[in-house]
Amino acid sequence: MVLGSVTDNQDRAAYSSYVMLERMAAQALTAKDYFAAFKYADRRCRVDPSSAAHCFVLRAEANWRLERKEAAMADLAEALLVDPSDLAANRRMFAWATDDRRRTAAADLIGRDSNPAVLRLAIEELRQAGYRHWAAYSVFDNHVTGWIAWTTANAVEVSVGVENGALISQLEPDPFHPLASVDVQAAAFLVRRPTSRAPQTLTLTCDGEIFRVRRLAPNLSSPPDLPSQACRPTAPRYDTLPPTVIVPVYRDVAATLDCFDSLIKARASNTTGKLSFRILAIDDTSPEPKLRRYLSELAARGTIDLLVNESNLGFVGAINRALENVLEGDVILLNSDTIVPPDFVERLADVARSAPDIGTVTPLSNNGDIFSFPVPNNVNPMQSYEGILEIDRIASIANAGDVTDVPSGIGFCLYVTRDCLKAIGALSENFERGYLEDVDLCLRARGKGFRNVCAPSVYVGHHGSKSFQHEKRRLVLRNLEVLDQRFPDYRRECRAFEIADPLRPARAKLDRAITWPCQPSVLILGNRRRFAVAEERARHLSERGERAIFLSRERDVIHVRAADGSSPQAIQLNFGTETGATEAAAIITRLRPDRVEIIEPSPLPQLIDLIRNLGLPIHTWLTSGTLSEAITSFPDETQLFVPGKEAEAYARARWPERKIVLQDWPTRPLTVEPIHGASRSLAIVPSEPSPVSFRLIRRLVDDLRRSIVVAGVTCDDERLMSYTNVFVTGKIAAGQIGDVLAPHNPGWLLTDFDEPAFGHPLIETARRASIPVAYRDWSAGLIKPRKDDLPIPADADEEEFIDAVIAWAGLS
């Protein structure tokens, strides 16, 4: 099936919009046209904006109906990664999965699905796994309503804890409840909530055993805030009380013990002569007996102060209870899965007190979103204790005195001044536990005139998501909705911050000062705008155990980045000054290169001169149809490496005086199984979007009456999609070509027709497809084509090219 007729620009734009793609995929599923459904859903998953969970569910449904069950399950996994609460994804996972994922989906459906039939099946699945009670509820300002189901229990209670006690409802089994059965009893409930400015607690109990607790946000608004100018400090503060490190504890014995061990060592190592810090732990009803005993022993020895919650309050409730007990001095909110270095509190405090308007301070970390090092917004490997101390020691020197303003801090380690706390109060109770309430605090602080800053001279290790990692995404999405309502511009501001990357200079200084891996490296010179071949080469080297370092050019700046994610990541080489060239030589020498592989056709001449002056072995690779003057100026005996036989033949014809070295790069297989009885299409796989490839595709579209599918992106997808016989898949990786093309039933494949792109993963994979392939013959006839393939002379003009493709495929 192809797109319907397009009559004007408005319709054309509608067809290309992501909303229309989703709608057409859903309509095709309803019409049982599963091939069309896959096409639309697949393109939607490959274009901007980023796909929501339901987009992957649409593609999963199409794949399942096409008997591509493994692909369907992968789509569901992707949907649940985007949104673990997505109802449609969980319903399908529950229906299709035969492993532990079925049970996980059943648990997610409880409390979210309103279909009694689905809930009964989910309850039965969990009952057979040993579960004994289930519940779902909705929270409103004046009441909480929901249901509870259980197997055996004499007393079932629902209580709402308030300031002066609790409102308790005793439930009796209702044999007519939709979830009641021979093995399961059930009842609905509705309990009243009195108005209060304090948080309340919902508790569900069966025979005295608490099986569900949720902290409820206050249902009475607080008095209006004072104007921000009245709260902003105007003079330096001279605190006499030591800061308090607040650590809520729930699970993960090993990480928590390591955290407190590092805290105790940090306090003992204080040599600044300044006041030390207090450690306040909150046992948030930990289910780990060893963890509870450990905290009690530390408290008994006077090593820490300890608060023990009678019920689990979650991160927000635990922190706020602690804040009620810490009425003076600055505080540090610290996750229990962190490892801190010596003097970290004192150094964070120095930054906080360096300006009267600083409200929060966040250090660098391996796992801290924008504060992550060496790769920002990434989970970098957690170092050992000694490794963390070493990075911190280097950061304290390399970034001494540096302070960078940020949109907000993050609560893995968040220093908050007393002035700031007085101005904004405690954490908001409107967030579910563990995520974004720290961001809300920082944004409220900024609204009061305080700055949120990063102290890149401090480094804290952070495991991340140890306590409830399976719930993380669901909690983040739920809390993002709350944050968006309060601060609608925050996400846009974060995107702008990530693009500008004000923390890059600090990471670069740390990158320069840190010890790099001692393994020799291979330097890969590439271009940031056309990076696919360089990344492919790095993959090959990694498979051989070699360490690849990208030196990618962006205008006259060279970005240095280790392909494996280790340091360096943020260093830039600038050859505009003599000092810059000297620094570049030092950086390259530190990388301990075995050799330099030039992948891009036009490397920066100054960089080539430097590499030659350093006497490094150079492997020049032929990846395009030209070589720059910087490369052709090499002596004739300089070897020219080629990634395949096509490139070898091209090079020998073009530069017969040079020594050509063939090193075949591994290529992925591409098998396309035909769909019997269905009409065949022409598949086109371009290497990069370019005006030339776009023009040729348009010419083919004008002259062909069969369907065409473009596997990849073009200069103007929307314009091509306005034709009734064209479909453009969107961004695609080499390993995905076969799966994406299969529903389009391609009978012929056209690729490598724009300009030579030797070693390009898309082109090399497409050239070896199991169906006939047409391509420009860059070897000038020196390479014998496969049976049924069409090698088109490289010098054929557009008319000759189009005529050859049509005659070859029999599509006229």
- Output the six-digit token pair for 227: 């104007």
pLDDT for res 213: 83
State residue 204's pLDDT score. 94
Rg (CA), the chain: 31
SS (HEC) of 597-636 = EECCCCCCHHHHHHHHHCCCCEEEECCCCCCCHHHHCCCC
Instruction: Give CA–CA dist 692/180, Å, rounded.
Output: 67
Q: What pTM was computed for the model? A: 0.87
CA torsion sign for 520, 526, 531, 536 is negative
Give mean pLDDT in consecutive 10-residue pieces for the chain, a chain of 812 residues. 38 62 95 94 92 96 95 95 92 96 94 94 95 94 95 92 86 95 95 88 91 85 51 54 94 95 92 78 93 96 94 85 94 97 96 96 96 94 96 97 96 96 89 76 95 98 66 62 82 91 96 94 90 94 96 92 95 87 94 95 91 94 89 84 95 91 92 86 94 92 87 92 91 93 93 93 95 95 93 94 89 52
pLDDT (0 to 100) of residue 578? 78
- Starting at the edge strand that comes first in sequence, how are the strands of the sheet with 659-662 ordered? 571-574, 557-562, 547-554, 521-527, 593-598, 618-621, 639-642, 659-662
The closest of 202, 157, 156 to 312, measured between CA atoms, is: 202
- Amino acid 488: pLDDT: 87
Cα dihedral 232, 236, 240, 241, rounded to 10, equals 40
Q: Is the Cβ–Cβ distance between 449 and 357 less than 8 Å?
A: yes
Say how far apart CA 711 and CA 709 lie, in whole Å.
6
Instruction: Please give the angle made by the CA atoms of 334, 337 and 339, to the nearest 5 degrees.
Output: 75
Token pair 């100054």 in the structure block, residue = 606
String of DSSP letters for 654-707: H-TTSEEEE-PPP---B-----TTSPPEEEEE-SS--HHHHHHHHHHHHH--S-
Output the CA–CA distances (angstroms, integers) from residue 549 to 14, 567, 610, in the order listed. 43, 10, 17
pLDDT value at residue 432: 63
Contact criterion met (CB below 8 Å) for 700 and 805: yes
Q: What is the DSSP string of 200-253?
A: EEEEEEETTEEEEEEEEPPSSPPPPPPPHHHHS--S-----SPPEEEEEE-S-H
Question: What's the pLDDT at 350?
Answer: 95
pLDDT at 1: 31
- How remote is the C-alpha of 601 from its chain's centroid? 32
Is the omega angle on the peptide bond into residue 287 within 30 degrees of 0, that is, cis?
no
pLDDT for residue 8? 41
Q: Is 304 helix (H, G, I), strand (E, B) or coil?
A: coil
Nearest to 688 by CA among 552, 527, 523, 803: 527
pLDDT given for residue 466 in this prediction: 46
Torsion sign over Cα 475, 459, 508, 598: negative
Q: Residue 504: helix, strand or coil by DSSP?
A: helix
pLDDT reported for residue 222: 61
* pLDDT value of residue 132: 94
